[in-house]
Each structure stands twice: as structure tokens, then as C-alpha cells.
């Protein structure tokens, strides 16, 4: 039935394989054999790495879900396992039954249909990860070379001031060390942008991707004040690998990229606009986790490295900055 919509499928597992994108005629970049995938478990989904085909893909997805969702079907898997419509095949080979998906939805206070989407995003991201890392490969040296503004060689003070400009002037931003939070005397670490221009990054190596309410002295989600960035990092991906995730978010998912910071340690941090709403945030979280990025980035009061501060003799610095 999937093949009747997308044509021949090069099945990679019992439930998922590569296919020709139904919106291929709209592609503006070169086509690859592994650009588009169809999965029939969970919420049946056609997913393509190109962005230009999305209206046609969305229509094909409606059809696929209608035709596969209208009746009860099952697939016999090796080893006596059975996958019914709505069940999700895990990377481990286990079948996550649709009843378990619904139980998870209830436990997390989420709509059942949305929970199926989340489970599907997770497994599709796992299936697609090798293609994503290959297709969006963006090694560290290339990131530096591609920066619209040449920033990596700027001195510490310039780094810091350049980064401050990413914030609207009225924002109150925290800068400190991890424990400079929680007591009234820590109020001095929460200051408006204009104050930080005068002071510099001497009060600590860390900041947050979110602004805080004036008068805050505790870095917690209750004190957040609207303006926020989504800071993506990974504890497991190397500097030459994680760029693929940044490029994918920026070029395919169209999240606006503001800057990339070299933490003077093993990792890079990319600052993006935060997702538009909770639903998008949860889907992004499911996908990013599958790509090896840390879900703690979705705690908006999480400390992250501030550019212009020194870490063991090395400068935390901007290496990519938007125009």
C-alpha cells in the first residue's frame, strides 16, 4: 500500500525503507538515493531531507496515513514477533505496542495522537541518522570558514561584546559560575545587557540561553522572562560531527541560527531561535536525542559557556556568527 503511493521501496527493515520523494520535481538540490524514507509503523510517514518538496510530501502523508490507518493490519516479523498498525518498531528490534504508546501519553499528560507522532519521530531519526550525518556533514574548519562574519580571531573583549549584541537591549542576562545562583547576593550576576557592556565577562564562564525577570537571583525556569535561545550541544558528538545537526536544524528544519560557540573544551554550542511552541519543542527533543544531542538543552535555565571568557588558558569564542 505504501508502494502504491511512493512507488518502489528499498526496504531497510520490515517497516521502513528508502523511496523516491513524491515531491522530487520540486527539489532545488541534487537528489540522492537516500534522501527520502517511508516508514509504516507508528504514524506512517514519508520523510524527505529536502525542504522544497514539503507541501507535496505533506499531502502524500495524509494519504498514506488515511489508507494505512483505516483498517487493522499486521506484519509477522522474524522470531515470532508481530507488528500491528500503530505499533512502533524500536531500534532494538522490540515492538512497542500501541497500547503502551497510549499509556505513555496518559502518563505524560499528552494527546494520544501526538504521542504516536513523537514515538515515530524518535525511531525515524534513529533510522535516518547515518544519512543525516553524511548529507549535512559540517566539520569544524568548514564552520569557521563559512561564518558570514569572521569572528573566531577576535580578542576576548570583542568576542564578549559581539555576543551581547545578540540580545535585545532590555534583557536581563545571567553571567556567573555554575553556583552563582540561589542566594540574594547572587543578584549581581543578573544584569541588563547595558551593564554587561561595562563589566565584561569577568563574573564567570557561564550564561544561559534565556533572559530572566529583573531582580532575579535564582537561575530557574520560573524566573525566565520570554526572550530565549535554544542552545544545542552534545556530550557524545565530536566537533567535526555535531555540525551536521546544526546544519540540519538550520537548512532543513529552518531554525534560525544566531551563532556557534567553541567552548574551549570538547564541544561546540549552537544558538538557535527556540521552537515556536511546546508541540514543536517535544518533537525536536525526540529527534535531537536520537541524534546524540543532550535533552538537557531544553531546560532553558541550563548554564552554557559564554564567549570571551577564558577556560584553562583557552578562549571560549564565537566561531560562526550570522550577518
Of the candidates 30, 15, 33, the residue with the CA atom closest to the CA atom of residue 124: 15
Choosing from 2, 16, 46, 50, the residue that interacts with Zn ion (CB under 5 A) is 50
Chain centroid, CA 137 distance in Å = 15
Q: How many other β-carbons are positioned within 10 Å of the β-carbon of residue 61? A: 19
Q: Does 53 bind Zn ion (CB under 5 A)?
A: yes
Mark 142-171 with x for binding to Zn ion (rule: CB under 5 A) and - for no binding.
Answer: ------------------------------
Q: Does 60 bind Zn ion (CB under 5 A)?
A: no
Q: What residues form DSSP beta bridges with 310?
A: 315
CB nearer to Zn ion: give 5 or 270.
5
Three-state SS at 229: strand
Three-state SS at 268: strand
Q: Does 290 bind Zn ion (CB under 5 A)?
A: no
User: Phi and psi (nearest 5°) for 176?
Assistant: 180, -165
- Tell me how many degrees the CA angle 253-254-255 measures, rounded to the nearest 5: 95
Q: Does 48 bind Zn ion (CB under 5 A)?
A: yes
CB of 66 to Zn ion, least distance (A): 20
The count of chain residues that interact with Zn ion, using the rule CB under 5 A, is 5
Stretch that binds Zn ion, among 16-24, 68-76, 159-167, 293-301 (CB under 5 A): 16-24
CB nearer to Zn ion: give 23 or 201.
23
CB nearer to Zn ion: give 48 or 247.
48
| Whole-angstrom distance, CA of residue 131 vs CA of residue 39 | 15
Stretch that binds Zn ion, among 50-58, 64-72, 151-159, 221-229 (CB under 5 A): 50-58
Contact 189, 216 (CB under 8 A): no
Q: Does 37 bind Zn ion (CB under 5 A)?
A: no
CB of 160 to Zn ion, least distance (A): 42
Q: Does 21 bind Zn ion (CB under 5 A)?
A: yes
| Whole-angstrom distance, CA of residue 50 vs CA of residue 140 | 23
C-alpha gyration radius of the chain: 22
Q: Does 5 bind Zn ion (CB under 5 A)?
A: no
The residues of the shown chain that bind Zn ion, judged by CB under 5 A, are: 21, 23, 48, 50, 53
Amino acid at each position: 500500500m505504501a508502494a502504491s503511493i511512493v512507488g518502489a521501496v528499498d526496504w531497510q527493515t520490515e517497516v521502513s525503507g528508502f523511496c523516491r520523494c513524491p515531491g522530487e520535481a520540486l527539489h532545488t538540490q541534487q537528489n540522492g538515493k537516500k534522501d527520502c524514507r517511508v516508514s509504516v509503523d507508528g504514524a506512517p510517514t514519508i520523510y524527505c531531507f529536502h525542504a522544497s518538496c514539503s507541501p507535496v510530501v505533506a499531502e502524500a502523508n495524509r494519504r498514506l496515513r488515511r489508507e494505512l490507518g483505516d483498517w487493522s493490519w499486521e506484519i509477522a516479523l522474524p522470531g515470532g514477533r508481530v507488528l500491528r498498525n500503530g505499533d512502533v518498531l524500536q531500534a532494538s528490534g522490540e515492538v512497542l505496542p500501541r497500547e503502551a504508546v497510549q499509556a505513555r501519553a496518559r502518563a505524560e499528560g499528552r494527546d494520544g495522537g501526538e504521542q504516536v507522532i513523537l514515538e515515530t519521530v524518535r525511531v525515524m531519526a534513529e533510522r535516518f541518522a547515518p544519512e543525516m550525518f553524511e548529507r549535512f556533514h559540517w566539520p569544524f574548519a568548514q564552520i569557521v570558514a563559512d561564518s558570514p562574519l569572521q569572528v573566531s580571531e577576535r580578542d576576548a573583549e570583542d568576542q564578549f561584546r559581539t555576543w551581547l549584541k545578540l540580545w535585545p537591549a532590555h534583557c536581563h542576562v545571567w553571567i556567573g559560575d555554575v553556583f552563582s545562583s540561589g542566594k540574594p547576593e547572587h543578584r549581581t550576576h543578573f544584569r541588563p545587557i547595558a551593564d554587561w557592556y561595562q563589566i565584561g565577562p569577568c563574573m564567570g564562564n557561564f550564561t544561559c540561553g534565556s533572559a530572566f525577570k529583573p531582580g532575579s537571583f535564582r537561575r530557574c525556569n520560573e524566573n525566565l522572562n520570554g526572550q530565549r535561545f535554544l542552545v544545542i550541544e552534545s556530550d557524545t558528538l565530536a566537533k567535526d560531527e555535531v555540525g551536521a545537526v546544526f546544519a540540519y536544524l538550520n537548512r532543513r528544519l529552518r531554525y534560525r541560527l544566531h551563532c556557534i560557540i567553541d567552548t574551549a573544551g570538547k564541544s561546540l554550542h549552537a544558538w538557535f531561535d527556540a521552537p515556536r511552541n511546546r508541540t514543536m519543542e517535544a518533537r525536536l527533543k525526540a529527534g535531537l536525542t536520537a541524534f546524540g544531542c543532550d535533552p538537557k538543552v531544553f531546560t532553558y535555565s541550563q548554564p552554557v559557556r559564554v564567549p570571551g571568557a577564558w577556560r584553562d588558558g583557552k578562549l571560549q569564542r564565537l566561531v560562526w556568527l550570522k550577518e
